[in-house]
């Protein structure tokens, strides 16, 4: 009896650990707080997002491609990179795109103490507001990881948390064709597409594959009758409703047969 109780406890512990891991890492879990990972499936748009910049020359190349296509995107900026390229940050907004807060140094926030976590949010918000005169409305945590301490801090800065529903793992440099096909495969209205103009760090990184893939991704979005927009625009076109259900989490993973 004692022995089986032990196994029972072990099973419960495993289950709880799995639940905590999912709530922390899955882009669509809203257990720790509300998360925007996709919009209504009946809207006419998808959001295009770029993380980890600014990172030149790639951010400016991306801006040129978006402008040519009359497309808009949200750039989740690392505060320290924004200080390196303040002109690029202003350029993003001049073109009608949106900036979001992606922490100051791109650390795993769940490994930080509460005050350091707050600083990562607040200081980046201050830096971006000083550079542009505009306070970002969205926060995307580095690596998408969240825990219950994060949401009071983002709420205090009037930030909403945005994740994604579609990714190509472009940061692994899988080749232009794969970035395009992984993004467009099963793309649905309301999706939030994750791409990168930086490299998970404050040291830049080569994003030429993502830049080369972008015109094909935009063409694919248009071919499906959808409009590429910012996260705020997507939320507005979705009637302010947004979702974080987990049913199609699988869609974000690359096709194992590739």
Residues 94-153 that bind Zn ion (CB under 5 A): 142
Catalytic residue, candidates 38, 51, 52, 170: 51
Q: Report the residue number, 108 or 116, with the smaller CB distance to Zn ion.
A: 108
Does residue 197 bind Zn ion (CB under 5 A)? no
**Which one from 72, 102, 106, 196 is the annotated catalytic residue?**
196
Query: Whose Cβ is closer to Zn ion: residue 201's or residue 227's?
Result: 201
Is 72 noted as a catalytic residue in this protein?
Answer: no
Q: Which is nearer to Zn ion, 96 or 205 (CB)?
A: 205
Compare residues 97 and 238 and give the one whose CB is closer to Zn ion.
Answer: 97
- Exactly one of 33, 38, 51, 163 binds Zn ion (CB under 5 A); that residue is 51
Tell me the closest approach of the beta carbon of residue 80 to Zn ion, in angstroms.
Answer: 12
Distance CA 80, CA 140 (A): 15
Does 6 participate in catalysis according to the annotation? no
Binding site for Zn ion (CB under 5 A): 51-52, 142
Active site residues: 51, 196
């Amino acid at each position: 009896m004692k022995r089986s109780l032990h196994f029972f406890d072990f099973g419960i512990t495993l289950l709880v650990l799995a639940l905590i891991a999912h709530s922390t890492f899955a882009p669509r879990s809203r257990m720790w707080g509300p998360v925007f990972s996709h919009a209504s499936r009946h809207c006419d748009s998808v959001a295009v997002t770029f993380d980890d910049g600014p990172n030149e020359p790639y951010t400016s190349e991306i801006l040129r491609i978006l402008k040519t296509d009359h497309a808009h995107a949200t750039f989740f900026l690392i505060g320290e990179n924004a200080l390196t390229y303040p002109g690029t940050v202003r350029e993003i907004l001049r073109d009608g795109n949106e900036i979001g807060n992606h922490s100051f140094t791109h650390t795993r926030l769940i490994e930080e103490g509460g005050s350091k976590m707050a600083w990562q949010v607040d200081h980046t918000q201050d830096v971006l507001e000083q550079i542009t005169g505009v306070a970002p409305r969205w926060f995307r945590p580095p690596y998408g990881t969240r825990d219950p301490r994060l949401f009071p801090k983002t709420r205090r800065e009037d930030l909403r948390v945005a994740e994604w529903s579609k990714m190509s793992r472009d940061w692994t440099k899988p080749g232009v064709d794969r970035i395009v096909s992984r993004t467009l495969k099963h793309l649905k209205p309301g999706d939030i597409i994750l791409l990168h103009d930086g490299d998970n760090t404050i040291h830049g990184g080569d994003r030429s594959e993502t830049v080369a893939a972008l015109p094909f991704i935009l063409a694919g979005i248009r071919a499906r009758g959808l409009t590429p927009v910012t996260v705020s625009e997507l939320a507005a076109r979705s009637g302010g409703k947004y979702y974080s259900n987990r049913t199609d989490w699988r869609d974000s993973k690359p096709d194992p047969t590739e």
